């Protein structure tokens, strides 16, 4: 299974008018992602409706809480393949939201927005592991233990190029579900 942790920092508090577009789109985007081909599961958040949390939510050392609300947009999920995650990420509702990221997120060229790594079947990550993988990618660059779409690895640790045709086919299947 492919694990993915995403992290960013908002330009303003989550409840602010400036973040309203993100906030309003979030439930529908989660719902669409959860019905995407290859989606396995995602962690929820303490005190919120939805799936249970996979441990105590923590944030990377680079998190500054600059918006002052003690919260940063982050997700933790499992997928069947790199292509399935790419199809769900870059196409459909999530893909449209990505194009607005600059309106909601603080630009940080030195901080990745996500990290990927492989997990064995039935081996679910927790937030602490996800943050450790994220910080590994940030400190050491991509490798088999922490990588990106651009510099991916297969479960055996070999460099891997995603099958773009497979990704496009999965995106078409996802579009039929919307």
Mean pLDDT rounded to a whole number for the chain: 92
The answer to whether residues 9 and 63 touch, using CB atoms and an 8 Å cutoff, is yes
**Whole-angstrom Cα distance, residue 36 to residue 38?**
6
pLDDT tens per residue, range 27-54: 888 889 999 999 999 999 988 888 999 9
> In terms of pTM, does the model score above 0.75?
yes
In the predicted structure, residue 146 carries a pLDDT above the cut 90: yes
User: Quick count: other Cβ atoms within 10 Å of Cβ 168?
Assistant: 13
pLDDT tens per residue, range 65-109: 888 888 889 999 999 999 999 999 988 777 777 787 888 888 887
**Whole-angstrom Cα distance, residue 76 to residue 54?**
8
User: Quick count: other Cβ atoms within 10 Å of Cβ 68?
Assistant: 8
**Whole-angstrom Cα distance, residue 134 to residue 149?**
14
């Amino acid at each position: 299974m492919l694990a993915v942790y995403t992290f960013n920092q908002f330009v303003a508090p989550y409840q602010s008018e400036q973040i309203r577009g993100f906030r309003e789109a979030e439930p529908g985007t989660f719902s669409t992602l959860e019905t995407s081909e290859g989606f396995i599961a995602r962690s929820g958040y303490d005190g919120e409706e939805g799936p249970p949390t996979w441990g105590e939510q923590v944030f990377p050392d680079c998190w500054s809480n600059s918006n002052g609300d003690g919260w940063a947009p982050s997700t933790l999920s499992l997928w069947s393949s790199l292509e399935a995650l790419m199809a769900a990420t870059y196409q459909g509702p999530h893909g449209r939201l990505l194009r607005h990221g600059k309106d909601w997120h603080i630009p940080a060229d030195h901080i990745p927005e996500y990290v990927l790594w492989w997990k064995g079947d039935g081996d679910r990550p927790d937030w602490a592991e996800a943050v450790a993988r994220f910080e590994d990618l940030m400190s050491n660059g991509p490798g088999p233990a922490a990588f990106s779409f651009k510099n991916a690895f297969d479960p055996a640790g070999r460099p891997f190029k995603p099958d773009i045709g497979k990704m496009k086919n999965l995106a078409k299947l996802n579009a039929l579900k919307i």
